[in-house]
């Protein structure tokens, strides 16, 4: 058993931002089930959005964020996060963070979908995530202990309901217990539970399921963003083609040479992601291929080295000027409900980054707001924890016996779950498809309170995928309207008469999922 002041589960940008701000004050342990750089943050091609350009303002960035999110946000949350983000980005610039600059030495600010201003900072062209993760990791010192290859499978609580630690499964099958005064989920979203996804394969929603099983409140799980442009080879998405490509002038054409976004949205190729993804999907359902025409983009190979290498690896000739694309799962807007510091409804448990639901993204995340969110909430939580903690505080032990739950029998192939999610809980949903998938999930005869101790890492991951799939499907079934990334063919319009802010899921005493509608965002957060 180990003791720490703070345990961080996950190793993306929010985790590293938190760790670097805590390391001079508290003992920190970062636990990740694979390697430190196996994260969506590391893969991020897009940049970091911040209103630092001439004429740009916090209010303009907030307006774009709320518009993209279809108003499914709290305006104060959005403005405060962007205001903090502007300051944090300015500090990173002063520190010497590796942001791209023009020939004249000025910061290079890019344009992306649904933004009204060029405000996207990049690093290494389309390698922003990689270079920012490297930058943050280099800043860590020996007060941060890195634990790789251990999969968190259970959050521990004491008799008062406070989270006091985590149990992990090692690669050799052994179980370890790590105790801490504060436990932070920074595990990312759940994009890899879909068969077509831009996410790292390890991003399967573990933190969402762990929080749910520990009794935390989750919300907005129906809002899953599908990125419009994944490189498509043999009808399969194989990797992300950044929105920045369209920001540099690339056009979306079908195989007849027609611009598919004309007449669809005033911003054409730079419309909000759910609109572009739905249009590309409709073209493909009609039997037409869709391409990014990159001939308007100057010096494509220099600006987008990662995409260039990906195309070369898959035999796509950039000399032809067209990249075949299709939509794929990209971002989880919902998650564990938190306040402005990352505190959840479970004492001692926190959530930051994509695993959290803060009210920032709404029904559809604005491009390049995700890395900004990680930086903002990582710093905020660090500030909070430094104010309430002292090094060496005693960690409470678990004081009650664990319930005697059965070990689940995992019979399904996780690939089948991914394909069913794509088919029935994907870009376009319907009551029929959602009901069909829920019946399949129930046919697995699994319990939310199963004992996972004897399972392998692979089996634990499959089980947690089942939990998250259930949460998403039930929330999608409960929202009988189309809003942002949640599109119902049987309820195609926004319902602004009986519109509820959040679809909330929580685990009740009888171990059943309860879904309620909350119109005021009134979730009790425990300090």
Average pLDDT, the chain: 91
Residue 303 has pLDDT above 80, yes or no: yes
Residue 382 has pLDDT above 50, yes or no: yes
CA distance 400 to 164: 13
Average pLDDT rounded to a whole number, residues 409-414: 96
User: pLDDT digit string (tens) for 240-288?
Assistant: 898 889 999 999 999 999 999 999 999 999 998 889 999 999 999 899 9
CATH number, domain at 292?
A: 3.90.700.10
Residue 266 in domain: yes
pLDDT at site 398: 53
Average pLDDT rounded to a whole number, residues 215-234: 92
pLDDT at site 511: 59
Closest to 352 (Cα-Cα) out of 527, 187, 193 = 187
Residue 245 in domain: yes
pLDDT at site 39: 83
CATH number, domain at 474?
A: 1.20.58.100
Q: Are 513 and 221 in contact (CB under 8 A)?
A: no
Which of 314-328, 397-411, 507-521 holds the top average pLDDT?
A: 314-328
In this structure, the strands spanning 28-32 and 251-254 are unpaired
User: pLDDT digit string (tens) for 352-364?
Assistant: 999 999 999 999 9
- With b for 16 or more beta-carbon neighbours within 10 A and e for fewer, the 277-309 pattern comes to bbbbbebbeeeebbbbbbeebeebeebbebbbe
Give the chain's domain count: 2
Confidence of residue 402 (pLDDT cuts 50, 70, 90): low
Residue 521 has pLDDT above 80, yes or no: no
Q: What is the pTM of this model?
A: 0.91
Average pLDDT rounded to a whole number, residues 132-143: 93
Torsion-angle region of residue 391: left (phi > 0), alpha (psi -120 to 50) or beta?
Answer: beta
Out of 329, 346, 380, a domain closes at: 329
Residue 133 in domain: no
CA distance 378 to 352: 7
Q: Which of 273, 429, 483, 502 is catalytic?
A: 273
- Percent of the chain whose pLDDT exceeds 90: 77
pLDDT at site 418: 96
Out of 288, 308, 329, a domain closes at: 329
User: pLDDT digit string (tens) for 38-72?
Assistant: 787 887 878 999 999 999 999 999 999 999 999 99
Residue 377 in domain: no
pLDDT at site 520: 53
- Percent of the chain whose pLDDT exceeds 70: 92
CA distance 337 to 518: 12
Residue 30 in domain: no
Residue 296 in domain: yes
pLDDT at site 526: 44
Cα angle for residues 372, 68, 273 (degrees, 5° grid): 90
pLDDT at site 321: 94
Mark whether 479 is an active-site residue.
no
User: Which of the 8 DSSP states describes residue 318?
Assistant: G
What number of CA atoms fall less than 13 Å from residue 352's CA on the CB side? 33
pLDDT at site 126: 82
Residues of the domain holding 317: 228-329
Strand ranges for 150-223 from DSSP E: 151-157, 163-169, 175-185, 218-219
Torsion-angle region of residue 437: left (phi > 0), alpha (psi -120 to 50) or beta?
Answer: alpha
pLDDT at site 527: 38
Please give the torsion angle defined by the CA atoms of residues 390, 391, 394 and 396, in that order, rounded to the nearest 10 degrees: 80
Residue 457 in domain: yes
Residue 152 has pLDDT above 90, yes or no: yes
Out of 329, 352, 377, a domain closes at: 329
Residue 255 in domain: yes
Average pLDDT rounded to a whole number, residues 86-102: 95
């Amino acid at each position: 058993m180990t003791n720490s002041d703070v345990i961080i589960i996950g190793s993306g940008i929010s985790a590293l931002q938190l760790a670097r701000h805590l390391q001079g004050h508290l003992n920190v342990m970062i636990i990740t089930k694979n390697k430190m750089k196996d994260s969506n943050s590391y893969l991020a091609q897009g940049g970091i959005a911040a209103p630092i350009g001439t004429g740009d303002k916090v209010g303009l960035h907030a307006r774009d964020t709320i518009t993209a999110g279809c108003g499914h946000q709290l305006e104060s949350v959005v403005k405060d996060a962007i205001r903090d983000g502007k300051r944090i980005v300015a500090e990173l610039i002063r520190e010497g963070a590796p942001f791209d600059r023009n020939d004249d030495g000025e910061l290079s600010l890019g344009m992306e979908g649904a933004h009204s201003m060029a405000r996207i900072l990049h690093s290494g062209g389309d390698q922003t995530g990689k270079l920012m993760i490297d930058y943050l990791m280099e800043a860590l010192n020996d007060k941060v202990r890195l634990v790789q290859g251990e999969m968190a499978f259970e959050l521990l609580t004491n008799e008062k309901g406070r989270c006091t630690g985590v149990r992990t499964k090692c690669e050799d099958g052994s179980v370890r217990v790590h105790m801490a005064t504060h436990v932070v989920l920074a595990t990312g979203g759940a994009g890899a539970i879909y068969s077509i996804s831009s996410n790292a394969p390890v991003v399967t929603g573990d933190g969402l399921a762990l929080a749910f099983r520990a009794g935390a409140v989750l919300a907005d799980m129906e809002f899953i963003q599908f990125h419009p442009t994944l490189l498509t080879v043999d009808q399969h998405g194989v990797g992300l083609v950044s929105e920045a490509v369209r920001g540099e002038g690339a056009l979306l054409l079908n195989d007849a040479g027609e611009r598919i976004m004309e007449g669809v949205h005033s911003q054409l190729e730079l419309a909000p992601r759910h609109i572009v993804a739905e249009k590309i999907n409709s073209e493909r359902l009609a039997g037409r291929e869709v391409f990014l025409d990159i001939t308007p983009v100057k010096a494509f190979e220099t600006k987008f080295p990662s995409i260039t290498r990906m195309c070369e690896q898959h035999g796509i000739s950039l000399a032809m000027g067209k990249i075949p694309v299709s939509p794929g799962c990209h971002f989880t807007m919902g998650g564990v409900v938190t306040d402005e510091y990352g505190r959840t409804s479970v004492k001692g448990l926190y959530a930051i980054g994509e695993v959290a639901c803060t009210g920032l993204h709404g029904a559809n995340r604005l491009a390049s707001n995700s890395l900004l969110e990680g930086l903002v909430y990582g710093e905020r939580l660090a500030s909070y924890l430094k104010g309430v903690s002292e090094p060496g505080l005693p960690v409470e032990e678990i004081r009650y016996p664990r319930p005697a739950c059965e070990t689940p029998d995992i019979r399904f192939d996780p690939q089948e779950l991914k394909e069913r999610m794509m088919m029935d809980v994907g870009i376009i949903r319907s009551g029929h498809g959602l009901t069909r998938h829920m019946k399949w999930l129930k046919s697995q005869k699994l319990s939310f309170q199963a004992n996972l101790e004897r399972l392998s890492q692979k089996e634990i991951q499959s089980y947690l995928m089942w939990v998250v799939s259930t949460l998403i499907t039930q929330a999608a079934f409960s929202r009988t309207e189309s809003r942002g990334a949640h599109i119902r063919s049987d309820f195609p319009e926004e319902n602004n008469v009986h519109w509820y802010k959040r679809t909330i899921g929580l685990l009740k005493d009888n171990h059943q999922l309860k879904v309620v509608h909350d119109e005021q965002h009134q979730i009790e957060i425990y300090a």
